[in-house]
Amino acid sequence: MALDFDHRLAPQVERLPETAPRPRRAVPVVVGREVRLLVNARASGAGGAHEVVARATAALRAAGARVDPLLTGDEGEFAAAVREAGDRRVVLVGGDGTVHAFANLGRSALPPAALLPAGRANNIARALGIPVDWDAAAELAVRGRPAAVDALEVVTPERRLFALEGVSAGFHAGARHRYSGENSADLAQGVRALVTELAAFRPHHVVLRADGARTFDGPAAQVFLSNLPLFGFGFQVDPMADHADGRLEAIVLDARRRRDVVRLLAAARQGTHLEREGVRWSRATRVQLESALPLVADAQPLGVTTASVTVAAGRLRLIAPGARS
């Protein structure tokens, strides 16, 4: 017998609404950082200046920056360009001399700055872990954070300036005074200056006071007052240096004969000199060189003079790997 089916008694199935398509995850858009790119036309490793500007601009744009490039030919142009940067991130293309010039701008506070290394030594970049590869350095310049970097305030009877790598007094400084190359690229000129200074070598009388206490008084060949591990072209004078500890290392090389000078400087180039006989070192926040010596701050000859050298904590804020602020 056929049964009539009453549809009113059938279980009612709730009709689910059609599933709306999931919205696509938004692709994050990197807002380009405004960058003021400053290229030192005289950096020893820069090559053709206009080519460098184009290459640096391309690297920064690939990293997400909007770039305003400028080629600077002298200190006045450089100072004006930094002053006019405003809120844009300053990116320097150059070597240690470029950062030295930046530290010595006549301003009580400097803006944060990034570095695309373009020198021969690149001691500052190497000390801070800044890549010498420009693609990696540009990425850091655009996205990185500034780290505090100490400087050394050097005051002589004639002038006042800041040094980043350190201060050299004695034999090495005397050789630097004999160097006449335009920048650090002329290695043959550097060797000639060193050989000439060695031939004329006599120990210097060194009187050194650290944080008020006299720590050395006698003949010596060389004094390094170090802020960073590296100094000059390849000398690892202070392997234990910390760029943000508020202290410098005062290192005295007590050598009386030419062969001893060569031995200790060769060890200093390799960073193996600190435990050798004839080497003394100490830490301080302020050092006074009370006897007149040939003096160099970074690569800047200062003549034969006395000096007071004081740590200027956090003088620079350079974009560096691992910076927290």
DSSP string, 94-116: E-HHHHHHHHTSS-SS---EEEE
| 172 pLDDT higher than 70 | yes
- Determine contact, residues 85/72, Cβ cutoff 8 Å: no
CA distances from 47 to 64, 82, 122, 141, 181 (A): 25, 23, 15, 21, 16
Query: In the predicted model, what is the mean pLDDT of the chain?
Result: 87
d(CA 156, CA 71): 32
Average pLDDT over residues 12-29: 44
| 15 pLDDT higher than 60 | no
- Determine contact, residues 232/299, Cβ cutoff 8 Å: yes
CA distances from 173 to 103, 180, 238 (A): 21, 13, 17
181 and 119 within one domain? no
Percentage of the chain with pLDDT > 70?
84
Domain that holds residue 255: 154-313
| 10 pLDDT higher than 70 | no
The closest alpha carbon to 243, from 64, 144, 139, 103, belongs to 103
> 182-223 pLDDT, tens per residue?
555 556 666 777 778 788 889 999 999 999 999 999 999 999
CATH code (residue 113): 3.40.50.10330
Which of 126, 144, 162 marks a domain boundary? Answer: 144
Specify the residue for token string 């017998």: 1
120 and 167 within one domain? no
- Determine contact, residues 60/138, Cβ cutoff 8 Å: yes
170 and 281 within one domain? yes
115 and 159 within one domain? no
